[in-house]
Structure 1
């Protein structure tokens, strides 16, 4: 990565951080105000007036500032034209809509800049908590301006994991005993941020997460010293024709290796 690239991604980071804050303030205006709700994906996923308003704010700010970038957002009809762009924005205006509608604080605005399939700038802003996570390629991960790192707790001690009970039940006994389940975190992006700042040691992500859930959090975790990988240890790629993903794990390297080995035993049983 050249100095020119670094300067560009830093400029993009400043842009998306400011835009995420503005979109977050828009969404916060609907919080606990019973916004109108619709259902998508055959009635499985809620979307609210707040999601659309925050998305509109982001689209107005970002596409005006970077008209040559592609666009992928959970709340914008997908356009295959994005596949021809080397660089694009990947957006989730409210990650954790169910939590938002339930009056819970654990939701965030997720904004990433992706270049050739991998994030180069990423921001998560949790307005109800006033928390801003940010990272740029080659830089350090920050939370409200301070560096964060993943947990360094020994793998020999039980680790705190955000993992579904039905998934944990399939793990070998030796691995189960080293995992302490934490209370469900409704925002996937925020859950990965919790791994990045060391509050939990890792998380397991069921299949069918999407680019907009992952891209910004992926970079923040990477720059905090962790990894988000598939069950073969490969990093996810973004801006493909298929925007959903298979099962993934996020953790610091020693924990990740232990988790992947255990999952391998599960899959081979």
Structure 2
């Protein structure tokens, strides 16, 4: 279900970009609204008893008592979407007991769909690269890059960065600039299924469906370098 929703919303978003008929803020607003409306309608029809937390809508149901909560970002990387780049995504995750149990990330402009029930375990040689923001990354990510000798690679949205680790294009993604649960829940669910290390910057477990859905920091990386990444972060976090 998560994969079907992420893929379907991605197709809608590609349609919003069709022909260059909209641009700038108008195309971003249209994408957010249409993807949210479609995802909300699907969940109401298919999973009416589940609660929903989304960036673009009011909560559905009582998240404080619900065991099953969908955490959705209908369009992760609105600015990338508006500028016409490929580094934007759709995030769909089901959480149970605060943990993602089914997750999907679609990167429609690349024709890619990552799903937690089918993703391959990440392996092979390390790349010596780390994903950072288009604006240069944070002090913490820079410190990890310097300590481990990693080359910085600029990538747009959070989902695109996380899936670059899943693809094996980079070895790590370190975030400390503040996000919300919908920005990283589905990516973390896919990355954990792929055998990657996912935690807060202090090494503690990531928990979702919190009363205030603010998720300020996390690290996703290859397990081979997880201890070294956390040791580097311990010096500055």
Answer yes or no: same fold by TM over 0.5.
yes
Matched, 1:83 2:44: no
Deviation at 1:79, TM superposition (A): 5.7
- The match for 1:175 is 147
- Size of the aligned set, in residue pairs, is 232
Q: Using the TM superposition, give the Cα deviation of residue 254 of structure 1 relative to its aligned residue in structure 2, in angstroms.
A: 2.6
Counterpart CA distance in 2 for 1:111 and 1:99 is 19
Unpaired runs of 5+ residues, structure 1, are: 1-14, 39-45, 142-146
1:24–1:109 contact (8 Å) kept in structure 2: yes
Does the C-alpha gap of structure 1 residues 50 and 83 become closer, same or farther in structure 2, counting only changes over 3 Å?
same
Q: How far did residue 35 of structure 1 move? A: 5.1
* Cα 1:241–1:151 shift into 2, 3 Å: farther
SS in 1 for 2:113: strand
d(CA) in 2 for partners of 1:193 and 1:77? 27
1:203-253 deviation per Cα after TM superposition (whole angstroms, max 9, x unaligned): 111232111111111111111110221122122111111111132111012
Q: Within 5 A, what are the aligned runs for 1:44-59?
A: 48-59=29-40
2:90 alignment partner in structure 1: 109
| Superposed counterparts of 1:155-194, under 5 Å | 159-163=128-132, 164-167=136-139, 171=143, 175=147, 178-182=149-153, 184-194=154-164
Aligned-residue CA RMSD (Å) = 2.3
SS in 2 for 1:48: helix
Q: Which runs of 4+ in 1 moved over 6 A?
A: none
The aligned runs of 1:233-244 (5 Å cut-off) are 233-244=203-214
Measure the CA separation in 2 of the matches of 1:94 and 1:54.
7
User: Larger radius of gyration, structure 1 or 2?
Assistant: 1
Post-superposition offset of 1:168: 5.5
**Contact residue 16 and residue 62 of structure 1 kept, 8 A:** no
Which stretches in structure 2 are left out of the alignment for 5+ residues? none
**1:94 counterpart residue number:** 75
2:50 to 69, 72, 76: 69
Distance 1:221 1:194 in 2: 10
Contact 1:36–1:49 (CA under 8 A) maintained in structure 2:
no
TM-score (norm 2): 0.89
Give the deviation of 1:174 after TM superposition. Answer: 6.3
